[in-house]
Amino acid sequence: MPKLNIHPAIAKLEKRIIALRRHFHQHPELSFQETETAQSILAELKGLNLEVRHPVARTGIVAVLRNGNGPCIALRADMDALPIQETGDRPYKSVNDGVMHACGHDGHLAILLGTLLALENSRDLWRGTLKFIFQPAEEGPAGARYMVEEGVLKEPKVRAIFGLHLWNYQDFGTIGVKAGAVMAAADRFTITVRGKGGHGAMPQGTVDAVIVAAQLVMSLQSIVSRNLNPLESGVVTVGQIHGGDNFNIIADEVTLTGTARAYREEDRQLIKSRIKAICDGTAASHGAAIELDYQDGYPPTINDPAMTEVAVQAARQVVGDGAGDPFRSMGGEDMAYFLQEVPGCFFFIGSAKPEHPEGAVPHHSSHFDFDERALTVGASMFVEIIQALLPPSG
């Protein structure tokens, strides 16, 4: 394993950061319901020389720390947990039935708070303005979008923003940083096929919605295989099909739902327009009516090259040879909304425990857990980035 270089200002706070993580883990809350979480964060901020805004985007918090003249850099953590019943038996197991921090956002909160405490206490390390963003509702409802709409990136104007994800798909001791797209656009669609039902033995005069739906499923798979540049990435998944009433009745209505993913905005638009064309063409060829409801989800998460270089240097400082490309997926992340507005970088802190092979304890599973040593690695990254961008002499 590469030699770690935990920042001294963070190393001092390790116990506190771990305790904070366990507290958040024990008291998880769902998207836009993070009220107790917000109270815990506010309690930590009490007595510090900060400007605190709350509530922002319902349950979020923004804390601004000023230290002389200089630009404003933002650091962001997400706050929400998932509707999962935690399995396993840890002393800090979730006390909220059916709710669990199964993505690592408990760790992100502890990392951001630890960074805040360290930089508040070590003002000689940097000069300028820091904006700490505690963001609700990452797991679906796009809390980041509401924060942007409520002006979180203004007053003071944010020049660059950084965020991270603890990442069990990478070993502890690694940090994944890459310019360009690191998470996908994640859209959702619902297709309703309306045909004309009838007797299962007398198809004449009917329009079989099941046949139309079956053809749709197969045709949709041709978008990625035949329309998309094979050197680019995309996924079209039909996750649900519902329709029909009985084995001997020709169904008159079938509903399909699915998700479309892409890294590039132009590929996202291509996939979207092809889904529409396939729906229209299939409807015409079968004499059915097909309705497409396509909902844009999170945009792709795109890292700025210059800010990524700052993060790469920070990663080399913290984990040496452990710095490299991240494990990428077609998952979505609402950090994308911030990165659409200001340059920045979203990076990945390897958090797989040595006793578990990479990815063996996947995010969003009921037995999710990560290596808590990754917490000080993440906080050290934030401190190194701030020192690089806001040097005390600058």
Q: Which residues bind Zn ion (CB under 5 A)?
A: 103
- Inter-residue contact 62 to 133 (CB < 8 Å): yes
Report the alpha-carbon distance of residue 301 to residue 180 in Å, rounded.
Answer: 8
Task: Assess whether 296 carries a catalytic annotation.
Answer: no
Q: Degrees (nearest 5) of the Cα angle 214, 271, 187?
A: 90
Catalytic residue from among 29, 78, 80, 106 = 80
> CA separation (Å) from 332 to 68, 147, 298, 328, 368?
37, 18, 6, 11, 19
Q: Pick from 348, 372, 338, 332: which is nearest to 146 by CA?
A: 338
Task: Assess whether 80 carries a catalytic annotation.
Answer: yes
Least distance (Å) between residue 363 CB and Zn ion: 6
Handedness of CA 160, 166, 168, 170 (dihedral sign): positive
Q: Pick from 65, 174, 179, 75: which is nearest to 128 by CA?
A: 65
Length of the chain: 394
SS3 303: strand
Main-chain phi, psi angles of 378, to 5 degrees:
-60, -45
- Would you state the torsion angle of the CA atoms of residues 238, 239, 245, 247, taken in this order, to the nearest 10 degrees? 80
Catalytic residue from among 138, 171, 208, 304 = 138
Return the active site residues: 80, 138
